[in-house]
Chains A and B, each alone.
Chain A
Amino acid sequence: MIQMLSIIFNAEFGYSVLRVTTPILFATLAALISDKAGVMNIALEGIMLISALSGVVFSALTGSAGLGLLGAIVAGGLVGLFLAYCALELKTDIILSGIAINLMASGGTVFALFLIAGDKGISSSLASKVLPKINIPGIASIPVIGTMLSGHNVLTYVALLSVIAVFIFLYRTPLGLRIRAVGENPGAAASVGIGVTRIQYLALTLSGMMAGFGGAYMSMGYVSWFSKNMTAGRGFIALAAEAMGGATPIGSLLTSLLFGFFDALSNTLQLMKVPSEFVNMIPYAATVIGLVIYTVRRTRRDRLAREASGERASATAK
């Protein structure tokens, strides 16, 4: 126990929390954008896989990590667009469309990997590039905080800045207002001339691009290769994190950090003699518990609000 605490209260642990939070945070923000437009993007898992592979392939082809990242984002956006086409044009249930995309992604990436790299498990034969790590001048020299915050992959900082960017986009721009209007009441939004379908198309595409960042981070930052099913449910965890974060950017950041904490904890506990299978279970179990706590609190709040308004109504009736 003491050993565990000394591991947790350690600057390096803080560093690894941020490191493992990054892909979850991207995916959570992706879930947030589509949820705000009233469409559930359950394909995040598959989109991240496709983007992770695209990043590796494009960076190997072009010899540039930046172009690899661009490829990953474009791929993510295209899959998001495809999901929108299925759900909005073909009118396939969006959850089934998402399941279909996830299935296609987990098999299709292995298929593509075999054709490109000649291996069904890992992309090590491709000379793919890695996105650079950044030392932040000033902060790097501060003892504890420097270790925690400096020297991360560039995408970790992008993820943190994305929280602010998504906040500004959703709450301070006309387009963000439209997205929220469509999500809250599509009928009302349509009645004031907002193209509901167009906005949802856009939101799913943006959501795909955001997940594309997460995918690129997985294969060009977190590790330097693509491997089969490497996202390991992070896209699904993100759905829970988004719900728990109360569908706000700041809440998403906090819940992503929470899951990142458990993820990092499981990585650390593996070094101690805790059975690795148990440790691997932690992030998923934490997600379920977190989801339950969130919904319990929400139902209680709703009930209190209902009772309060009920009392008010009966008071005015008297």
Chain B
Amino acid sequence: MTRQQRLFEVVRTGLAILIALVIALVIILVVSNDPGDALSKFLLGPLDSFRHFGNVIELMIPLTFTGIAISVMFSAAQFNLGAEGGFFIGAIAASFVAINFSLPPVIHPIVAVLFGGLVGSLFCGIPAALKVRWGASELVSSLMFNYIAFFFGLYLINYFLRDVNAGAMVSYQFKSSALIATMIPKTRISFSLVVAIALVIAAGAFMARTRWGYRIRLIGANAQFARYSGINTNHVVLYSQIIGGFIAGVGGSLEVLGMYTRFTWQTLPGYGWDGVIVAILARNNPIFVPIAAFFLAYLRIGADIMSRYSDVPNEFVALIQGTIIILIAASSFLAKYRHRLVFKEATQKASPAASPEAAQGAKQ
């Protein structure tokens, strides 16, 4: 991508977000009795206290994990939507280890998180294996596996890990050695943040600098070309989704061990779907995922604060999210300008009085 094209993508993303926010504004104006207050809560609420901003960072962590998981799978053009189930079942696997194992601190959460990741990769890997082996649509089977992961997970919690004395449908308390310590006091931001940052760097390097990552991107760009150039596409399709599932499972594990002392979810948390939005915003590039995750987390927390202090329910964020997905993924959105840009560049390169940079590009 040239610098101009990159700039174009930034402008396009910004415009899509702007349009979505205008839609949000219109909704608030229509719905609320005090739109000014609701709007300021929505846009500025996350900044009004240390705790609220902490909430944004807390939410950003799981979104980073599912965003990268989806990015890796979408990069190989695999529409595996199992990150949702992988995240959930990974969290349950980690809870199992956190409750039943006795291990020294630091080692305990590491074992739990790795186990969660393994189980997550299993759940995302099965649809991939079915696709590779028999050509069953990974889209449909991964959607089914989300429900299977959900109900199977609830079964494990309610029959093996449930604390009957707790009064609610929750698991036993995690052993204290398994908990991931809080990193920033007065918030619930745990050391998961460090893992998330490490993951961003690792995944970015993996996708951009290793041959495995290159193969994933190549298959996403042109699967037939990849096959003809001698790449075993089945292997790549399989490992891209196993890696994606692993990341989702690790994300779920870190979430429960870092934020809670028991397993308490009774519904799917929805972070897998949010990961789709994050991945689309970040153009499947792990390096951009934290920015997208921060943006989405900010929107969410803003909407939560708004719904607490005003008369607008927070679910309206879903409408903004949908609009952003459609506009950013829309290839004809601003396509005319892209055309003009490409045309200008091409003519510049063709003319002899081109800039040195363009001349270099022409030589290649």
Interface residues of A, Cβ cutoff 8 Å to B: 42, 86, 89-93, 95-97, 99-101, 103-104, 106-108, 110-111, 114-115, 120, 232-233, 236-237, 239-240, 243, 275, 277-278, 280-281, 284-285, 287-288, 291-292, 294-296, 298-299
Contact = CB atoms under 8 A, between A and B. Distances in A.
A281 B152 contact: yes
B155 A278 contact: yes
Interface in B285-335: 313, 315-319, 321-323, 325-327, 329-333, 335
Contact of B313 (A115, A236, A239, A285): A115
B362 interface: no
B140 A243 contact: yes
A280 B151 contact: yes
Given A90-B326, A91-B335, 12 more contacts: A91-B332, A96-B276, A99-B276, A100-B322, A103-B318, A120-B315, A240-B144, A243-B140, A275-B155, A278-B152, A281-B147, A295-B135
Contacts of B140: 236, 239-240, 243, 287, 291
Given A114-B315, A288-B144, A95 B139 contact: yes
A111 B315 contact: yes
Contact of B325 (A103, A106, A237, A284): A103
A90 B329 CA distance: 9
A277 B134 contact: no
B211 to A, nearest CB: 27
A108 B325 contact: no
B329 A93 contact: yes
Q: Say whether chain A's binding surface is mostly helix, strand, loop, or mixed.
A: helix
B332 A42 contact: no
A236 B327 CA distance: 24
Contacts of A120: 313, 315
Contacts of B89: none
Contact of A99 (B141, B147, B325, B331): B325
Interface of B: 31, 79, 81, 130, 134-137, 139-141, 143-145, 147-148, 151-152, 154-155, 158-159, 273, 276-277, 280, 313, 315-319, 321-323, 325-327, 329-333, 335
Given A292-B130, A295-B134, A103 B321 contact: yes
Name which of A92, A115, A280 has the most chain B CB atoms within 10 A of its CB: A92
A96 B319 contact: no
Top 7 A-B pairs ranked by shortest CB distance? A107-B318, A104-B322, A277-B155, A90-B330, A100-B325, A111-B315, A91-B332
A296 B315 contact: no
Contact of B329 (A97, A240, A281, A285): A97
A120 B321 CA distance: 19
Contacts of A275: 155, 158-159
B315 A92 contact: no
A243 B137 contact: yes
A277 B158 contact: yes
Given A115-B31, A295-B134, A108 B318 contact: yes
A42 B325 CA distance: 15
A95 B70 CA distance: 14
A236 B144 CA distance: 8
B329 A92 contact: yes
Contacts of A288: 130, 136, 141, 144-145, 148
A209 B236 CA distance: 39
B92 to A, nearest CB: 12
B3 to A, nearest CB: 25
B35 to A, nearest CB: 14
Given A99-B273, A277-B152, A284-B147, A104 B319 contact: yes
A284 to B, nearest CB: 4
Given A90-B330, A277-B154, A285-B144, A104 B321 contact: yes
Contacts of B137: 239, 243, 291
B136 A103 contact: no
Contacts of A107: 315-319, 321
A164 B325 CA distance: 37
Nearest to A287: B144
Contacts of A285: 144, 148
14 contacts: A91-B331, A92-B330, A97-B325, A99-B325, A100-B325, A103-B321, A103-B325, A108-B316, A110-B315, A111-B319, A277-B159, A284-B145, A284-B147, A291-B144
